[in-house]
A and B are shown apart, each in its own frame.
Chain A
Amino acid sequence: MKTADSVLNARGRLTVPWLIVPPAAALLVFFLMPLLVVLAVSFASRGTYGGIEWTLTVSNYTSILDPLYLRIFWRSLWIAVASSAICLVIGFPLAYAIAGAPKRWQGALLLLVIIPFWTNFLVRTYAWMFILRTEGLLNTALISAGLIDQPLNLLYTDGAVLLGLVYGYLPFMVLPLYAALERLDPALIEAAWDLYASPVRIFTRIILPLSKPGIIAGCLLVFIPSLGAYVTPDLLGGARTLMIGNLIQHQYLVVRDWPFGSALSFILMVGVLLAVMSYLRAGGPKNLA
Chain B
Amino acid sequence: MNQAAIKEQGLSAHTGTGPVAQPGNPLLFARVVSPHHPDVLAAFRRRSPADSAVRYSAPPGSHAAPPARLQRVNPVVRRKASRGLTHAGLRAPATRHPFPTHPQEKVLLCSPVLVIAFAFLLILAACSPSSDNGNAKKVTLHLFTWSDYTEETVVKEFERRFGIHVMTDTFGSNEELLAKLQGGASGYDVVVPSDYMVSIMIKQGLLAELDRSKVPNLAQVYAHLKGLYYDPQNTYSIPYLWGTTGIGYNAEMVSSPPQSWQALWDERYKGKISLLNDEREVFSMALRSAGESLNTVDLVKLEAAKVRLMAQKPLVKAYTSENYDQLLISGEVALAHGWSGTIVRAAAEKPSIKYVIPQEGGTIWQDNLCILKTSAHKHEAMAFVNFLLEPQMAAQITTKVKYASANEAARVLLPKEIAQNPAIYPSQDTVARLEWIKDVGETIKAYDRAWTELKVK
Complex contact flag A–B (Cβ < 8 Å): yes
For B315-334 the 0/1 string (1 means CB < 8 A from A) is 01111101100010011100
Contacts of B76 in A (CB 8 A): 11
Stretch of B63-71, B86-94, B227-235, B291-299 contacting A (4+ beta carbons < 8 Å): B63-71
Pairs across A and B, CB under 8 Å, 28 listed: A8-B71, A16-B68, A18-B68, A18-B70, A22-B116, A41-B27, A41-B28, A44-B27, A47-B22, A48-B13, A49-B200, A49-B203, A49-B439, A51-B22, A51-B23, A53-B21, A63-B2, A72-B456, A133-B332, A136-B330, A155-B318, A235-B320, A239-B320, A239-B455, A247-B452, A250-B451, A254-B173, A255-B448
Name the contact of A135 in the complex, choosing from B71, B331, B441 (C-beta under 8 A): B331
| Distance between B278 CB and nearest chain A CB, rounded to angstroms | 8
For A227-258 the 0/1 string (1 means CB < 8 A from B) is 00000001100111110001100101111110
Additional A-B contact list (14), CB under 8 Å, known A59-B9, A240-B455, A250-B451? A22-B116, A28-B63, A48-B20, A48-B442, A63-B5, A126-B323, A235-B323, A238-B274, A238-B320, A240-B316, A241-B455, A250-B448, A250-B452, A253-B175
Given contacts A48-B20, A135-B331, contact A256 B175 (CB under 8 A): yes
Question: Which residues in chain B, 347-402, are within 8 Å of chain A measured between CB atoms?
Answer: none
For B298-326 the 0/1 string (1 means CB < 8 A from A) is 00000000000000010011111011000
- Residue B453 interfacial (CB < 8 Å): yes
- Residue B128 interfacial (CB < 8 Å): no
Question: Which residues in chain B, 118-177, are within 8 Å of chain A measured between CB atoms?
Answer: 120, 173, 175-176
In the complex, residue of chain A having the shortest beta-carbon distance to the beta carbon of B51: A54
Chain B contact residues (Cβ within 8 angstroms of A): what range?
35 or more
Inter-chain contact total with CB atoms closer than 8 Å: 170
Measured CA separation A78–B20 after assembly (Å): 43
In the complex, residue of chain B having the shortest beta-carbon distance to the beta carbon of A72: B456
Chain A contact residues (Cβ within 8 angstroms of B): what range?
35 or more
- CB of B70 within 8 A of CB of A51, answer no
- Residue B432 interfacial (CB < 8 Å): no
Measured CA separation A247–B449 after assembly (Å): 11
Measured CA separation A37–B441 after assembly (Å): 26
Residues of B within 8 A of A (CB): 1-2, 4-5, 8-9, 13, 20-28, 50, 57, 60, 62-65, 67-71, 73-74, 76-77, 113, 116-117, 120, 173, 175-176, 178-179, 182, 200, 203-204, 271, 274, 277, 279, 313, 316-320, 322-323, 327, 330-332, 439, 441-442, 444-445, 447-449, 451-453, 455-456
Given contacts A10-B74, A18-B70, A50-B200, contact A29 B63 (CB under 8 A): yes
- Residue A96 interfacial (CB < 8 Å): no
Residues of A within 8 A of B (CB): 4, 7-8, 10-11, 15-16, 18, 21-22, 25-26, 28-30, 33, 37, 41, 44-54, 57, 59, 62-63, 66, 68-69, 71-72, 126, 129, 133-136, 153, 155-156, 234-235, 238-242, 246-247, 250, 252-257, 260
Contacts of B64 in A (CB 8 A): 25
Name the residue among A28, A46, A51 with the largest chain B CB count within 10 angstroms. Answer: A51
- CB of B277 within 8 A of CB of A48, answer no
Q: Which 5 A-B pairs have the closest CB atoms?
A: A238-B318, A18-B68, A51-B24, A49-B24, A25-B63
Given contacts A16-B69, A45-B9, A256-B175, contact A51 B182 (CB under 8 A): yes
- CB of A257 within 8 A of CB of B448, answer yes
Contacts of A53 in B (CB 8 A): 21-22, 25
Given contacts A16-B71, A18-B69, A255-B448, contact A239 B318 (CB under 8 A): yes
Contacts of A8 in B (CB 8 A): 71, 74
Contacts of B24 in A (CB 8 A): 47-51
| Distance between A245 CB and nearest chain B CB, rounded to angstroms | 13
